[in-house]
Amino acid sequence: MNKKISAVVYAALGSGIFGLGTIAYADEGYPVQKTINIVVGYPAGGSVDLNGRLLAEALEQKLGRTVVVENLGGAGGAIGAQKVVNQKADGYSLLVGSVNEIIIAGLINPNVKYDGVTDLRPIGFIGSQPMLLAASKTTGVASADDFLKMVETGKSQDFNFGSSGVGTALHLAGEMINTTTKGRVQHVPYKGVAPLLTDMVGGQLQFGMFVLSSGLPQVSAGKIVPIGVTSTHRAPTAPEIPALSENPGFKGVDINIWFGLFAPKDTPEPVIRKLQATLDEVLKDPAFQEKYKRTGGVVMSEQPDLAAFLPAEREKFKKMVDSAGIGVK
C-alpha cells in the first residue's frame, strides 16, 4: 500500500471516520469494561430495588461482567433517573425504573427537569405487579361488595386510605377507585409500609393501598383484610384474591406497577440491541421467572414495545393526577 494512503487510512481508523472502532466496540466488544452500573432511585428493600437486584444478578451471569446496583433514593425515584439521564450514553450506566419516576414524577413535581419518555431510551420491560386494596379488620369490610355498600351510605368521606406518598402509583390507584365507585375516601400519605400498617391495625386508618408484594405478607399474617387487586385479572401469585374489576362496581379499575430497564437516550443502537437481546434471554430463563414470581410479580417475557407504550401511559396518568388535583400547573 502507498505509504501516504496507508497513513491516511490509519489516521481515519484512529479518529473513527469510518466508524470501525465504534462498530467493533458496540457489536463485538460490549461490554468491554469490567463494571456496569444499575441505578435504582429508591432505598434498598423496595419493589424497584428488588427488580434491580434480581436483574443485576442475571445480567452479570449472561454478560460475564460485574453489575452493581446503586441505590439513590429521593423525589419518588426522580433523583436516580436524573443521574442516568446525565450519564455518558455508553451502556455502562443504566436505570431500573418504574411508572413513578418514568411517568408520574414529571406530571406532579415541577422540579423534575427530565422527560421520562424522551430523555431515556427504553430497553425493555422487566415485569409488573398489581396493587392491593386492603381494609383494616376494625372496619368490618371484607369484600368489594362491602366496600361499595360503605360508599352507598354517602359517608365515604369519613373514611381514609393510606399510600406511600402523594402522587405515587399507589395514591393514584386509590383515586381511581374513588372515581370508579363514586367514593370520597380521603387520602393519607405515609413514608412507608410500617407506619401505615400500624395505623391500620390500630383502626386509625381504614384502608390501605399496597404493592402486592408488600401487602401479601400482611394478609398472610392476618393483619389486614384483602379486598382486591387492581389488575384486570387475578395475580398468579395470589389467585385467592379477586380482581376488583370482577365486581361491576369497580369496572374499569386497571392499574399496575411496571418495571423496566432504561439507558441514556443517545446510547448507540448496537449497544441497545445487545442489552435487549440479553434482557430477553434473562426473562425467558425459567430460573429467573421462578425467582421473580416469589416477589409477587409477573415477568414480561413476551415483550410489548415499551417505547410505544410510554406516551399512552403518560396520558392515562395525566388524567388521574389532574383528577386528583395534584398535577403540575
Q: For residue 157, what pLDDT band results from cuts at 50, 70 and 90?
A: confident
Q: What angle do CA 100, 105, 110 make, to 5 degrees?
A: 170
H or E, element range at 64: none
* 3 state DSSP class of 318: helix
Window from 59-63, 120-124, 156-160 with minimum mean pLDDT:
156-160
Residue 15 above 80 pLDDT?
no
Quote the pLDDT of residue 13: 36
Q: Which letter does DSSP use for residue 243 in this model?
A: B
Alpha carbon distance, N-terminus to C-terminus of the chain = 66
Quote the pLDDT of residue 242: 97
H or E, element range at 136: strand 120-136
Q: What is the mean pLDDT of residues 76-86?
A: 95
State the Cα–Cα distance between residues 87 and 39, nearest whole angstrom. Answer: 11
- Return mean pLDDT, the chain: 88
Quote the pLDDT of residue 17: 35
The CATH topology of domain 130-256 is: D-Maltodextrin-Binding Protein; domain 2 (3.40.190)
What's the grid cell of residue 61?
451471569
Quote the pLDDT of residue 168: 87
In the chain, what are the domain boundaries? 3-128+257-323, 130-256
State the Cα–Cα distance between residues 285 and 58, nearest whole angstrom. Answer: 9
Quote the pLDDT of residue 28: 56
According to DSSP, the residues that pair with 208 across neighbouring strands are 134, 162
CA trace torsion 201, 204, 207, 213 (10° rounding):
-40
Which of 100, 111, 66, 150 shows the shortest CA–CA distance to 258?
100
Which of 275, 329, 268 shows the shortest CA–CA distance to 306?
275
Query: Would the CATH topology of 3-128+257-323 be identical to that of 130-256?
Result: yes
Q: Which letter does DSSP use for residue 165 in this model?
A: S
* Phi and psi, residue 264, nearest 5°: -55, 150
Read off the pTM: 0.81
Residue 154: count other Cβ atoms within 10 Å of its Cβ.
Answer: 9
Q: Which CATH number fits domain 3-128+257-323: 3.40.190.150, 3.10.20.600, 3.90.1150.10, 1.10.760.10?
A: 3.40.190.150
